[in-house]
Structure 1
Amino acid sequence: MTSSFVTQAFQRPRAVVLVLGFAGAKPKHVAKYANVYHSLNCSTVAGTATNRDIFTGNTVNQDAFALEGLKLVTKLLKEVAEADDDNNQANKTPVVMHILSNGGTFITNRIGIMLEANDNSVNKKEETTEEQDNDTETSQDLRLFGDRLKLGCQIFDSAPGFFTTSGTFNVIRSLVPNKIIGYPAAAMYVVFTHVLNLSSYLMGQPTHNEEFWSRLQTDTNCLRQAYMYSNDDEIVEGKYIEELANDRKAGVGEYVALKHFENSAHVQHLRKHEEEYVSFVKTTLEEVEKLNR
């Protein structure tokens, strides 16, 4: 079975980075972001969930994708531990998540849910020995990833995006360049999301957007975030990212940084401002290392 991820490892990385691509990103696109971290002596695991799983909200497939990436990250962490004679550096190697647009943010939220469920799991039902072994291995991987994520950080690029009508329309339109097809498809998707929201309200339940945003505000799996955004982004409005950053600073955040780019469209910051972009990532990694000393 072909992996959804591409991995590149260093023997003694300063961090192991999980790069989660934006909707529609091809391997060559996420490779550009992985290369930023390679240049900074980090190991990387990079991949993108399918558009179908992202836009239909298929959490079963999203979880499978998320768990695959997570296990590849922990595999690299274990290899570092095996290669480290004194095991001192291995115990400090952090996990960094580089999260592109909401395509990456949806997977980030699923990882957060899995980490919390693993921490809270008790008194599991009786299973076969093989199932128990597999479950124990997955549980250990989740625990290792979660522990190292607390030593690392989450870097959001053009994310997260609050679900506005215009943003929802523009993201579908951008994925279907043909206007004859793209505009009606975008309009239909907007109507679909509004119908779902109305159903939630009628049942007295929070909408998907409300649950999504609330988790980002209160999540404690990682208390360090950095956000890269632009007010020229037609899909993700910068004001919501600024509000989220302020919420994190006033609430559970341990380290929160913001980087605004001028004249830069959605997920175009690296292409438009490469030097600034790499410098911000480098500075963020250095600040994380200071926090871990």
Structure 2
Amino acid sequence: MKTSAFALSAAFFAPGAYSWGLVGHATVGYVAQHYLDGAAKIMTSHLLNGEPLANVASWADTFRYTKDGQFSAPLHYIDAHDDVPKKCGVKLDRDCGPEGCIVTAIANYTTRMLDDKLSKEERGDALKFIIHFLGDISQPLHTENLDVGGNTITVKWGTEGAASKTNLHSVWDRNIVETLAEGTTLAAAESLSKGIIEDLENGIYKDLKDGWTSCGSIKRGTGCPKAWAQDSNKYVCSNVLPNGADVLRDQDVSGEYYTANAPIARQQLAKGGYRLGKWLNSIAKAEQLKNH
């Protein structure tokens, strides 16, 4: 999905077709909100004019289809030019285009949040980008170049006995997540997030979550975002396309494929939310230290 590939996808897919949908992004926002400390709650409430994270989590998708936001389209992904399914991997110099990518964008907007020379609105926009990109980078196909991040892998998704045509990227963005959430609303996302938070606190993610934020501090620039991209990308080989793209083309993926991958999608939402909460806590702490 370099510039030319993005132009291709924009021509054939509806706006928002390659990003966690409302439910996915809102779920990440709800989970992150739970993990904000006091300083981060004050900071985010100030910059978002009292709006919770979930309510603005999809702002970046809307913004990129405006004249002023066109520049941000390539920042929602990184194109791993790897060898799926034999070998997955992200290399920043190889895969991040000259216009930037999600790895450099997270680092950049983190810096902008801490820049006192910027206006409150500019810092608020930086925060909204971070909220969104921490969701996007958790979706494996946002870290893969093959078939425009899965956008040109045509598949079917069964609904009430009638399978509708879609593409694999949209399946990961929406179909799997909305099925997990049993809905397409903020309320459905909030319900899904509560189960994820319970698993982060007392369930299957309890002993895993510390490892999800072990990449270091915000001072490392692209260090953590690159590690998160690597983490997501590995699932392209192991789960998203374990046997390559051709075996999935024109197939209904709402059965066994969904059953196998729903736990991965749910875990990625948990990672995105937990990492976002902790990342914003670090930004708030850096803000406090800077002002003392």
TM-score (norm 1): 0.31
TM-score (norm. length: structure 2): 0.31
Structure number with the higher strand fraction is 1
Q: Quick check: which has more Rg, 1 or 2? A: 1
